[in-house]
Amino acid sequence: MSRVELREIQKLYGSLAVVKQVSLVVNEGEFVTLLGPSGCGKTTLLRMIAGLEQPSSGALWIGDEIAFSSEQEICIAPEKRGLGMVFQNYAIWPHMSVLENVLFPLRCHHVPRTVARERALRALAAVQLTELANRKPHQLSGGQQQRVALARALVAEPRVLLLDEPLSNLDANLRNEMCDEFISIRKKYPVTMIYVTHDQSEAFRLSDRIALMNKGEMVQIDTPEALRQSPQNDFVRGFLLLK
Amino acid sequence: MMITKSLRVVFFALLAILFALTVFPLITPVWRLVLNWPVFSVIVDAVNLTSAVQTITMSALSLLLGLFIALPLSWLLVCTDLSQKNTFRNILFFPFVLPPYLYAIAWATLAVPGVGLLNRWLGNIFNVYSLWGLAWVLACSYLPVLLSSICHALESMDPSLEEAARVFGASRAKAFFKIVLPCIFPAIASSSLLFLLAAISAFDIPALIGIPARYYVLTTRIYTYAKMGGLFGIDQAFALSTTLLLSAGLFLFLNEVIRKRFQQRLLSGKVPRRSVVHLRRLRIPLLCLAVFACFILVVLPLGAIITSSFLRLAGKISLDNFTFENYRYLFSMPETSRALTNSLMCAAISAFFCTVIGFGVSYFKDRTSLRFRNLCLRLATFPYAVPGTVLALALIVSYGSGWGVEQIALLGSPLLLLIAYCSKYLALSVQALTPALSSVDPVLEESARVCGAGPWKTIRRILVPILRPVLVSVFILTAMPVLSELTMSVLLAGPGTETIGMLLFQLQDYANPLAACSLAVLLLIFLLCTVPLINRMLQGERM
Ligand SMILES: Nc1ncnc2c1ncn2[C@@H]1O[C@H](COP(=O)(O)OP(=O)(O)O)[C@@H](O)[C@H]1O
Ligand SMILES: [Mg+2]
C-alpha cells in the first residue's frame, strides 16, 4: 500500500492540453475515483500514473519514490512502478489460460514457481474463478474476463491498483454484482485504489473520495457527502444533477 | 432473392465454364498418369531428388531471410514513432505489383560476378548466381507477402495487451517476446506458408538466377522435361509436378489448420494505438536503417534496371557509355511489337472475362441460395494456389493436342494462353468482388424488383452502376499480372504468340540482358500507371 501524489501534472497533445495542472494526493489504502464526462482526460491521467504515457510536465510520487519529474528528468518505466491495473477492455492475453494470465505478474517478479502457483490460485479463489483456471480467455463471458483481470491485477500485491472504467462493458445486473465484489476485495487485498468512471452511481457507492474532472481540469476533490452537500460550482451541480 | 429460369440457366452455364477452366484440365493429366503409372519413377530419379532437396533448401533459406527483414521492419513501421512511416510503407509495399523476374533481372545486373554494378563499386564481393543469391532475390520479391500480413497483425492487435504486461512488471523485451510475438504468431505462420508456397512454385527467379548457378529446383527441372519435346516429356514433367501440387495442397491445409487453431487470437479488431515506442536516441540510426532498407529492397534494384537500360556496356556508368541503342535494338526486333500487342490483348481480354465470370460467381454466392453456389466459388478460387507450372502442363495435356483432331489442338494458340490466364487469375476478381457485393444492401435491389424490374434489369441498372468503381479496379487488378505473366507463358506460347514476360526471359537468358532491361523499363511504366488508377477507383468507392 502506498500513497500517490500528483503535482501539477500536465499533458499536451501538440498544443492541446488534455490534462491541465492536476494536483492530487491519494492516501495509503484510500479509494479515490476520477469522475467526469467522457473525454475529460481521466484515462490519460490514469495512464500517466501507470507510466504508459509520459506527462508533459509536473511530478508524480508513488510511495516514497519519485516516479516522474519533469524538472529532474526522471521517468520510471511502467514495469518498475509496482502497480496493478484493470483495463477497460480487460486486456486478457488470448494465448494464455486463465491461470497463466494470473501467473504472469508473479513470473515477472521472479516469484518461485510453487509459491507463485499458490498465490495465483488464491487470487482466483478471491474472485470465485477457481474452477475456470484452465480455460482459455475466449471461453469466458465478459463478467468472468473481468474477474480474471481483477485477479491478475491483485495477485502480485501491487502498491496501487488502477482501474479504468472496469464496469463499462458489463450489463446492469453484473455491474451491481461487481461493485459488491470490489468492496469485498478491498477487505481481502488492502490496496490503494484509483478508479476511473463516468458513472456517478458507481463513484458514490465505492469511493472514499471523488475527484471530479472537467475538460482536463480538477474541479473538486471531496468525499461523496461533501460533494453532494457543497458543490463548488455550476458544473458540479449540473453533472451530479443537484439543485 | 427470387430465382428466375434464365438466372438458373446462366448459373449452370457458369458452372460448365468453371469445369472447363479448372476441373477438366486437372483431371485429364492425372487420369493419363494413372493409366501410365510407370512414368512416376521420374520422381525418385537421383537428379530430381536432389532438385527436391534444393527446392526445400532454397525456399527455407529465403523464408528465413524474409522473416529476418520483415519482422523488425514491420515493428518499426507500426509500433514506433519513426517519421515518414507512410512513405516507407508505400515504398516497401510497391513490389507487390511487380513480377518477381524484374528482381531477378535487377540483381543480375547488380551482382553478376565481374560486371555487376555493385561488384564494380564495392570490389568483386557478390555472386548472385549462388544459393544465397537465389534466396536473397526470392526473399526481396516476395517480402511484401510477409510485411503486409505482419504489419496488419501488429496493427489489429489490441495495444492494451502489451501495456498490461508492462504494468505487471514485464520489460519491453519481455512483453514483446511473451505477449506480442505469440499474439501475432498466427499471422507470421500463415504468411510464412504463403511465402513458401510462392517460393516452391516460383519458376522465373530459379530459371534466371538458379540455372546459371547450376542450381536446379523442381520447377526448372519440370521445365526442362516439358521442353524435351513430345508427349513423353510432358508426361514426365507432369508426373514430377505432382510433387508441387501435393505440397501446395499441404500448405493450404496447414494454413487452414492454423486459422482454426488460433482463431481466438485473431479476434480483436482494429484498435487505435494510444502510445507508440519513442525511439529517442535511436531515432536517427533507425531512420537511416529504414531508408537503407527501402534503398536496398526497392530503389537500388529498380534504379539498376533503369540505369542499365541506357548503358552500352554492362556495369560501367559513365557519360560515354550512355546510349539509346538498347531501346533501338528492342524496337527493331519483330518480336517486340508482337509481344507488346499479345500481352496487352491477352491482359484486356482475360481481365474482361475474369471480371464478368468473377461477378457472376460472387453474385450467385451472395445473392442466391442455389445448390452448387459454394462449389462454384471454390472452383473459381482454387487454381490460384496451383503452381503456374503445373497448371500450364495440365492445360497442355488436356487442350494442347486436341485429342488427335488437328483443328482443335490449342498448343501455341492464343486461346490456350487466355484459358490459362482466366483460370489462374479468376480468384483475384472473385476475392475482390465477393466482399464488395456483400457490402451492397440487398434492399436496393429488392426495391427495384418491387418497382417492376426483372433480375437482369436490376443487375444492369442497380448493381453494376453501384459497383462500377470496384469492377474497374478489379479489371485492372487482374490485367496487371497477366500483362507480365511468365511462368505459364513460357510453356504455352509458341512462335507468334510471344508475350512480354517471355521475351524478357529470352533476352535476359541469352540474347541481350541490356535490352531486357529496357523492356523491363517499359513494363515498369505500364505497371506504375495502373497504381494511381486503382487507388483513385478505390477512393471513389469509399466516397
Ligand atoms: N494520443 C492522443 N492524441 C491526441 N489526443 C488524444 C490522444 N489520446 C487522447 N486524446 C484526447 O484527450 C482527451 C481525453 O481523452 P481520455 O483521457 O481518453 O478521456 P476520458 O478517459 O476521460 O474519456 C480526448 O479529447 C482525446 O481525444
Ligand atoms: Mg476513458
Q: Which of B81, B156, B163, B167 should one mutate to test binding to chain A, selecting the residue with the greatest count of A CBs within 10 A?
A: B167
* pLDDT (0 to 100) of residue B272: 62
What is the reported pLDDT for B543? 38
Q: In this complex, which of A54, A94, A109 lies closest to B169 when CB atoms are compared?
A: A109
Instruction: Give the 3-state secondary structure of residue B70.
Output: helix
Domains of chain B, with CATH numbers?
1-36+332-543 (1.10.3720.10), 62-267+279-308 (1.10.3720.10)
For position B542, what pLDDT does the model report?
Answer: 45
Name the residue of chain A whose CA is nearest to B184's CA: A95
Q: What is the value of ipTM here, to two decimals?
A: 0.87
CA B266 – ligand 1 centroid, Å: 26
Length of chain B as a residue count:
543
Helices (H) and strands (E) in chain B, counts: 26, 0
The residue of chain A nearest to residue B169, with distances taken between CA atoms, is: A79
Nearest CA to ligand 1 atom 24: A39
C-alpha cell at A100: 497463466
Q: What is the pLDDT of residues A7-59, one digit of tens each?
A: 999 999 989 999 999 999 999 999 999 999 999 999 999 999 999 889 999 99
Which residue intervals of B368-497 are DSSP H helices?
373-381, 388-395, 414-438, 442-450, 455-458, 464-483, 487-492
Could you tell me which residues come within 8 angstroms of residue A162 by beta carbon, excluding any fewer than 6 positions away? A46, A49, A50, A83, A84, A85, A86, A193, A194, A196, B167
CA angle B523, B487, B257 (to 5 degrees): 115
User: What are the counts of helices (DSSP H) followed by strands (DSSP E) for chain A?
Assistant: 8, 11
Residues of chain A with C-beta less than 8 angstroms from the C-beta of B168: 79, 84-85, 104-105, 108, 152-153, 156
Q: Hey, which of A9, A10, A13 would you mutate to test ligand 1's pocket, going by the most ligand atoms within 8 Å of its Cβ?
A: A13
Please tell me if residue B152 touches chain A, with a CB cutoff of 8 Å: no
A105 contact B CB<8A: yes
Contacting residues of B for A162, CB less than 8 Å apart: 167
> What's the A39 CA to ligand 1 centre distance in angstroms?
6
Ligand 1 pocket, residues with Cβ under 6 angstroms: A 13, 18, 36, 38-44; B 274
Extract the C-alpha cell encoding B466. 453501384
A50 touches chain B (CB under 8 A): yes
Q: Which residue among B161, B171, B274 places its CB closest to the CB of A79?
A: B171
Closest by CA position to B33, among listed B234, B228, B244, B249: B234
Cα A93 to ligand 2 centroid, rounded to whole Å: 21
CB contact under 8 A, B167 and A108: no
Query: Taking CB atoms and an 8 Å limit, are B163 and A87 in contact across chains?
Result: yes
Is any Cβ of chain A less than 8 angstroms from the Cβ of B369? Answer: no
Q: What is the mean pLDDT of each run of 10 residues along chain B (543 residues)?
A: 80 92 88 82 84 94 96 92 88 87 90 77 81 93 92 88 92 91 91 94 92 91 85 85 91 90 63 72 91 93 89 74 81 85 93 95 89 90 91 88 71 88 94 90 82 82 88 90 91 86 85 85 86 66 44
User: What residues in A contact B182, CB-CB < 8 Å?
Assistant: 93, 95
Chain A residue with the nearest C-alpha to that of B182: A95
First-residue to last-residue Cα distance in chain A: 38
Answer yes or no: do B161 and A93 touch at CB < 8 A.
yes
Q: In what order do the strands lie in the sheet with A74-75?
A: A16-26, A4-13, A57-62, A65-69, A74-75
A49 shares contact with chain B (CB less than 8 Å): no
